[in-house]
Amino acid sequence: MVENFHKPTQYSTDKFDTFEGGQDPAQIMRAAHDTAHALIEGARNAQDPAVLDRIVAYTDEHGIDALAELWSRSSPRSLPGALWRIYLLRAVIQQDAVGTSLLFQRGIDTLRTIDAAVTGAVNPTGPAEIKDLADQILRGVFRGDFGVALDRAASFSRILASGAGSIADDQELLNPERASELTTRADRYSRTADEFSTCAKMFRAGTLD
């Protein structure tokens, strides 16, 4: 995807979904859609399992900014926009598996929906389990039903939103600044969950490009 490799960029959770891409919108949009389709098709056609491993772990070696240059300005209701958010979600988890697993576990405990079952999460969900779950969801993008992978990503994000909101309530009196940060994060995760759900519906309708 890029020719020059570099040290991965650390991407903190408080900046989730705010990364900006390059400076030429027209070229970026065309490249975003072309590379997204090429990546999906290439991964699905690849016979070597190592290819999928490299695709899943791409940002571990090259950094999330390598994909941001291609996909971060795409509409959230598009194929490159959906791929960007899934990779970004995984990057956040990889960089703070402990904190994210705490939010996720609280979300499972407080959210009275089928979202935990949709994600396929084990309970309890610790740092190792949540990293594995994020990888499973990303692998599902390139193997199996793409719509199901988007549904799982939506449920994953919805659980994180519930967990962040619940902990924010706990912190409101003791640590208002922390509560505000968690509330903002909950809003972002909730919005991302809605975007994944919309993309899943568009994929099934044949309109996700």
Q: What is the pLDDT of residue 73?
A: 87
Count of beta carbons in the 10 Å neighbourhood of residue 193: 22
- How far is residue 20 from each of residues 36, 124, 167, 174, measured CA to CA in Å? 18, 35, 29, 34
* Residue type (1 letter), 65: D
Residue 56 has pLDDT above 80, yes or no: yes
Mean pLDDT of the chain: 87
For 138-169, what is each residue's pLDDT tens digit? Answer: 999 998 899 999 999 999 999 999 999 999 99
More confident residue, 7 or 43: 43
CA distance 33 to 79: 7
Q: What is the pLDDT of residue 67?
A: 86
pLDDT band at 19 (very low <50, low <70, confident <90, very high): very low
For 165-178, what is each residue's pLDDT tens digit? Answer: 999 999 999 999 99
For 95-149, what is each residue's pLDDT tens digit? Answer: 999 999 999 999 999 999 999 999 999 889 999 999 999 999 999 999 889 999 9
| Average pLDDT of span 65-76 | 87
* Residue type (1 letter), 121: A
The C-alpha angle 93, 110, 118, rounded to 5 degrees, equals: 60
More confident residue, 165 or 44: 165
Taking the model in full, what pTM does it have? 0.84
Q: What is the CA 2 to chain-centroid distance, rounded?
A: 21
Report yes or no: 132 and 104 within 8 Å, Cβ to Cβ: no
Report yes or no: 143 and 152 within 8 Å, Cβ to Cβ: no
pLDDT band at 7 (very low <50, low <70, confident <90, very high): very low
- Residue 203: which residues within 8 A CB-CB, separation 6 or more? 146, 147, 150
Q: How far apart are the first and last CA of the chain?
A: 19
CA distance 5 to 160: 32
pLDDT band at 61 (very low <50, low <70, confident <90, very high): confident
Rg value, the chain, Cα: 17
Report yes or no: 138 and 83 within 8 Å, Cβ to Cβ: no
